[in-house]
Chains A and B, each alone.
Chain A
Amino acid sequence: MYLYVTTSGLNSFFIETGELANFALRFFKEVFKRPFEFKEFLRQCYNMGNRSLLLVGVTGFIIGLVFTLQSRPKMIELGAVAWLPSMVSISIIREIGPIITALICAGRIGSGIGAELGAMRVTEQIDAMDVSGTNPFKFLVVTRILATTLMIPILVIMSDAVALFGSFLIENFKGDVSFTLYFDEVFRALTYSDLIPSTIKTFFFGFAIGLVGCYKGYYCKHGTAGVGLTANAAVVEASMVVFIIDFASVLITDIFYSI
C-alpha cells in the first residue's frame, strides 16, 4: 500500500517533469517564430515589475537591516567588525538576494500567471484566441516566460542594492561608517566570480517561474475550483524548481572554480 503510494507519486512526478520539459521545448520552438508579440511582452514586463517592485524592495531592505543587526555582535566578538560589509555583501549578492527575490516572485508572479491563464483556460478565452487566429501559446505563454526571464534578474539587482543600502544604514548608525567607506569595502570584497554566476542563475530563476506558472495555467482543468489549485501548485512547484536550480548552480560554480 505504502509502496503503491510512493511509486504512483514518483510516477506522476516523472510524468509532470516530462510534460514540463515538453512545454519548455515548445517555448524554444515558438520563441523565434514570427509574429513577435512585442507589445504584450512589454505590457507583461511592466505589470510584473509594477506588481513586485514594492514587495521586493521592502523585503530586501529588511533583510539587509536584520542580517547586519544580527551578525554585528558576533563580528565584534570575533574582532572582525571591519569585515562586516564584505561578508554581508557577499552573502546577499551570492545567495540571499537572488533566492529571496525569486521565492517572492514565485509567490507573486508565478501564482498570478497560473491563476490568470487558468481562468482564461476554463472560461474558454484561450480557445477563443485560437479561433480568432492568434496563437495563444505565443501570445500568452512566450511573452510571459520572456518577461519573467528578463524581469526577475532586474528585480534581484534592485533587491540586492536595497538590501546593501539597509545594511549600510545599520553600519552608519551603529558603527559610524560613512557611505563611501562602506561601499568601498563592498566593492573591494566582490569579485566577478561572485557577480557572474549569481546573475546568470537569476535568469534561470525567472525562466523557471514563468515556465511553471504558464504550464500550470495553460493546462488548468476542473473548472473554477481548479484555478485556485493551479495558482497554489504554481507557487509550490516554482519554489521547488528555484531551489533545485540554486543547488545546481552552486554545484556547477564549485566545479568550475575548482578546476
Chain B
Amino acid sequence: MINSEVRKKMVIIKDLVKSYGEHRVLNGFNMELYEGETLVIMGKSGSGKSVMIKCLIGLESHDSGTITIMNKNLDKMDADTLNEIRTEVGFLFQGSALYDSMSVRENLEFPLRRHIGKFGELDDATPLVMEALESVGLPQTIELMPEELSGGMKRRIALARTLILKPKIILYDEPTTGLDPITSKEIVLLMKSIQDKYKTSSIVITHDVDCARFIADRMILLIDGINYITGTFAELSKSDDPKVSAFFKT
C-alpha cells in the first residue's frame, strides 16, 4: 500500500458515465486497480455496480469517459484486441452463468476453444480442466451437468471456468450473494487462496461486509453514480459520514 503510486495500474476508469434512457446510472465514476491488489466495490442494490463492471469488460457500451485495461484503451479496441484482453480478464457472473446444456467438463473447456493460442496446441484439455477443478476443490464433478450441482458448487465451477485461462485480472460480481454464511465463507477463502496462488489483481463487488473485511486491500463505495469514497476497510468503517457508515452497521 505504501508505494502504491509506483505500482503498475492494471485498470484505470476515468469519468465513466452511463445512462439507460433518462436514468443516469453512472455519473462520472473513477477507479484504479493496482497490480496484485484486491479492490472491493460496495454500493446499494441498483447503484450500478454490475453496470460498471460490464462496461469495464465491454459487455455494455458507456456514454462517456475512458476505460484503460493494461495500458490499452477499451474504446479504441477492435474485436480481436478485445478478445485478447478478455483472455487476461476473468469474470465471475452474479448468477454463475454456467452453460446448462453442457457438462462441467465442457463448460470449462469452452473458454479454451478460442484461446488456444495462449497455451499452444492443445490436444487434450483434461489436465487443464482438472487443475482448475482441483483449485476449487471439486474434481469429482467433472462429468456432472450444472443442474446436478448446488448453488455453492455452481459458483465454484464458474470460478474454475474463469481460472482456466489464468487471467491476470478477475472481476467478481457478488461472489457470495445467495449462499449460506458457511458456503460464503468457503468461497471467500477460495478467492483469497486463488489470489495468493496466481497473484491476480481482483475487483470484488459485494454487499457482504465480512467478505469485504477479509479480502479487501482497498475499498470504493459507489454512491449516487460516483466513487463516493476510497480507503481501506478500517478507514471506511470508522467514517462519520452517515452514507458511508450505513454500510457497516449490522
A248 to chain B, nearest CB (A): 35
Closest chain A residue to B107, Cβ basis: A128
Closest chain A residue to B113, Cβ basis: A134
Bound CA span A120–B89, Å:
21
Given A125-B99, A125-B100, A127-B97, check contact A133 B86 (CB 8 Å): yes
Note all chain A residues with C-beta closer than 8 A to B110.
129, 132, 134
- A window 114-140: CB within 8 A of B: 116, 119-120, 123-125, 127-134
Chain A residues bordering chain B, tally (CB within 8 A):
14
- B window 76-122: CB within 8 A of A: 83, 86-87, 89, 91, 93-95, 97-101, 110-111, 113-115
Bound CA span A120–B94, Å:
14
Asked if B97 and A125 make an inter-chain contact with CB atoms under 8 angstroms apart, the answer reads yes
Q: How many A-B residue pairs have CB under 8 A?
A: 47
Asked if B97 and A132 make an inter-chain contact with CB atoms under 8 angstroms apart, the answer reads no
- B window 117-154: CB within 8 A of A: none
Indicate whether B6 reaches chain A with its CB closer than 8 angstroms.
Answer: no
Asked if B87 and A123 make an inter-chain contact with CB atoms under 8 angstroms apart, the answer reads no
Closest chain B residue to A37, Cβ basis: B113
Asked if B57 and A134 make an inter-chain contact with CB atoms under 8 angstroms apart, the answer reads no
B200 to chain A, nearest CB (A): 16
Given A133-B83, A133-B86, A133-B87, check contact A128 B99 (CB 8 Å): yes
Given A125-B97, A125-B99, A125-B100, check contact A131 B59 (CB 8 Å): yes
Asked if B114 and A132 make an inter-chain contact with CB atoms under 8 angstroms apart, the answer reads yes
Asked if B83 and A128 make an inter-chain contact with CB atoms under 8 angstroms apart, the answer reads no
- B window 23-53: CB within 8 A of A: none
Specify the main secondary structure of chain A where it touches its partner: helix
Bound CA span A119–B110, Å:
19
Instruction: Tell which of B83, B89, B97 has the most Cβ of chain A within 10 Å.
Output: B97
Query: 1/0 per residue A90-128: CB within 8 Å of B?
Result: 000000000000000000000000001001100111011
Instruction: Tell which of A123, A128, A134 has the most Cβ of chain B within 10 Å.
Output: A128
Note all chain B residues with C-beta closer than 8 A to A124.
93-95, 97
Asked if B86 and A131 make an inter-chain contact with CB atoms under 8 angstroms apart, the answer reads yes
Asked if B93 and A133 make an inter-chain contact with CB atoms under 8 angstroms apart, the answer reads no
Given A133-B111, A133-B114, A134-B114, check contact A128 B93 (CB 8 Å): yes
Asked if B97 and A123 make an inter-chain contact with CB atoms under 8 angstroms apart, the answer reads yes
- A window 127-168: CB within 8 A of B: 127-134
Bound CA span A127–B54, Å:
9
Note all chain B residues with C-beta closer than 8 A to A134.
110-111, 113-114
Asked if B86 and A123 make an inter-chain contact with CB atoms under 8 angstroms apart, the answer reads no
Bound CA span A129–B86, Å:
11
Given A123-B97, A124-B93, A124-B94, check contact A131 B57 (CB 8 Å): yes
Instruction: Tell which of A119, A124, A131, A134 has the most Cβ of chain B within 10 Å.
Output: A131
Note all chain A residues with C-beta closer than 8 A to B114.
132-134
Contact of A131 among B91, B95, B100 (CB under 8 A): B91
Instruction: Please report A residues at the B interface, Cβ cutoff 8 Å.
Output: 116, 119-120, 123-125, 127-134
Closest 10 CB pairs of A and B: A133-B114, A132-B111, A128-B97, A124-B97, A133-B83, A124-B93, A131-B91, A125-B97, A134-B114, A127-B59
